[in-house]
Amino acid sequence: MKKCLRRFSIKGFQEVTLIDWDGKIASIIFCGGCNFRCGFCHARGLVLDEEGIEAVPFDSVESFLKEKKGWIDGVVITGGEPTLDEKELIGLIEAIRGLSLPVKLDTNGSRPNVLKDLIASNSVDFIAMDVKAPFNAQAYSMAVNAPVEIKDIIESRDIVLDSGIEHEFRTTVVPGIVDISAIAEIARSIAGARRYCLQQFVPRDTINPSFLDITPYPAEELNRMATVASEHLNDVVIRNN
C-alpha cells in the first residue's frame, strides 16, 4: 500500500487554505496534467509542464497532516485534473481518509466513470465540478480549447446531482466565453444542485497570454448573473478569489 501511495504524482501541496472548502480549514494537494487547455487557467505549470515540476513526496504531506491532526478539517484534491489517473487518485484518497480526514475533489467532469466509482465506494465527501460553458459541444470546446466529449460532461453532471453527497458546480465568468444568457442556461441545466458558484475571472498568469487583456465583468454584472441563476437554484454564490 505505501509503495503505491509514494508513487502518486503530487505536484504541489499547500498546507493551509481557508477559501477552497467553504467553512473548513483545509490543505490542498495539486495533481499534474489536464486534458483541457482553458485559456483563462492559472495552473500553467501543472497543465503544460507537469514533468518539469518536482513531485512532493507523500511522506511529507502525511507528516504535516498527522502533526496538525485536529486542526486541519479536510484535504482538497485539485489539479490539473485529478481524475485522469483513477488508480493513483484512489490510492491517495485512501491514504488521506486513513488519517481520518474528509476529502473534497475538484474536477472538470471529463471522467464520469471515475466519479461514479468514487461515489459508489463512498470515497469522497464533497465534489466541486467545473461547468465551463453551457452543455453543448461547440460552446464547451471553445471554452476549454480542446476536444470535448460533451456526453461525458453531461453524465458527470448527472452523477454529481444524483450523488446525495455535498457538491457544487462552478463557472469562471470570462467575458467572451460566458455571458448572462449562458449563465441562465447553465443554471437551468443544473437545477437541483446544492450550490452554484460564479467565480470572477482574474486576468493573471493565464495559460493563454491573450486572456491577460480581457477586462473582467464588473461586480454589478456578476450580481445580475447571480440573480438570474437564482431563478433556478437555491444557493448561488459569487467568489472573487
Give the footprint of ligand SF4 on this chain (CB under 6 A).
34, 36-38, 41, 43, 47, 79-81, 108, 144
Judged by beta carbon, residue 1 or residue 19, the one nearer ligand SF4 is 19
Burial (Cβ within 10 Å: 0-12, 13-18, ≥19) of residue 234 = exposed
Judged by beta carbon, residue 163 or residue 208, the one nearer ligand SF4 is 208
DSSP string computed for 116-151: HHHHHTT--SEEEEE--SSSSHHHHHHHHTS---HH
Least CB distance from residue 180 to ligand SF4, whole Å? 21
Least CB distance from residue 88 to ligand SF4, whole Å? 17
Tell me the residue type at 126: F
Least CB distance from residue 142 to ligand SF4, whole Å? 13
Compute CA 18 distance to the chain's CA centroid, rounded to the nearest angstrom: 16
Judged by beta carbon, residue 43 or residue 115, the one nearer ligand SF4 is 43
What is the C-alpha separation between 198 and 175, in angstroms, rounded?
13
Least CB distance from residue 1 to ligand SF4, whole Å? 28
Burial (Cβ within 10 Å: 0-12, 13-18, ≥19) of residue 63 = exposed
Q: Which of 27, 35, 30 lies closest to 12, judged by CA?
A: 30
Helix, strand, coil content of the chain in percent (nearest 5): 40, 20, 40
Judged by beta carbon, residue 217 or residue 232, the one nearer ligand SF4 is 217
Least CB distance from residue 132 to ligand SF4, whole Å? 7
What is the C-alpha separation between 27 and 4, in angstroms, rounded?
21
Judged by beta carbon, residue 44 or residue 151, the one nearer ligand SF4 is 44
Judged by beta carbon, residue 21 or residue 72, the one nearer ligand SF4 is 21
Least CB distance from residue 222 to ligand SF4, whole Å? 19
- 196: which strand partners? 169, 236
